[in-house]
Amino acid sequence: MNRVTSTPVEFVVTGGESSKRIDVFLANRDPTFSRSALQRLIGEGRILINGQTVRPSQKIKPGDRIRLEVPRPEPLDLKPEAIPFDILHEDADLLVLHKPAGLVVHPAPGNWSGTLVNALLHHFATSGVTPSHIGGKERPGLVHRLDKETSGVMVIAKTDQAHRALAAQFKLHTITREYEALIWQVPKKGRGLIELAIGRDTKERKKFSARTTKPKASATDYQVDERYGKVAAHVRLSPRTGRTHQLRVHLTSIDHPILGDKTYGGAKVMSVQGVSIPRVMLHARTLGFTHPTGGEYHQFDVPCPPDMEHVRDLLRAATGH
């Protein structure tokens, strides 16, 4: 069995810090750590205050000496695979790509091959790059993700510095993100803001909803871009937060689930006016961020993919719009 080593980090709490929980303090200090990850490290005894083990709820105070032992990633045992993807931009710090619909982003139990990570490992190996491993061995370079059936723009970190800088922008919601979707029926208002705290559903663990023990505030702006009679609409979406399944859950909460999303919309969203829907009709169209080393703003746009555009054409023909 391979021994997992760790990298110790030490610092002293400054006099200007207000009293707060240790997990909250550390999550604010380093955005690459989620509170759940920090709580796991605390439970493993890898976070000490003044040489003593702590509880997640323990409060810090000025002068406290904090030591973290961050486990180094285990050697990758995933296989590089020559899976094609479109590269929109690449430099020494990062890679921007267009993920096609149907491609799983990262491996998981029962699904260790055929993912974007396998494709990235092949790409990096052929170019002699060792990607950031902050996210763990199954997520090299991954700062964010898209669901399997969602297409669109993603950014991948190639260095730890780039990973931390991009993760901070995502956490502070300074990233520019715009999605487009085809939804069931037409909202009464042409634009609006959906605010709904969501988390993992208490009864259906693979779903997210407001029925949760750990609700997290989330907000999404929407704008109706095109109507197909009364049966469907094309909308632009700007998430102000980045919760798992946020757009899918938010649109379902206002009774306009995304077409093709059987998980949240049921059978009714799989066929509209005789038009069969092949997948979840959601596309990450725009991604903009500040470059982690250059400091300049970059924005990337990928127009509506052919399969979504085809469904739009069929809906126009079916409804006479």
Supply the residues annotated as catalytic: 147
CB atoms within 10 A of CB 262: 13
Rounded Cα–Cα distance for residues 317 and 321 (Å): 7
CA distances from 185 to 41, 191, 272 (A): 46, 14, 9
Non-local CB neighbours of 239 within 8 Å, separated by 6+ positions: 177, 179, 218, 219, 220, 221, 246, 247
CA nearest 104: which of 94, 91, 95, 113?
Answer: 113
Contact 249, 264 (CB under 8 A): yes
Contact 134, 145 (CB under 8 A): no
Which residue matches tokens 């555009």?
309
CA distances from 52 to 17, 46, 49, 59, 119 (A): 20, 10, 5, 13, 43
Non-local CB neighbours of 19 within 8 Å, separated by 6+ positions: 59, 60, 61
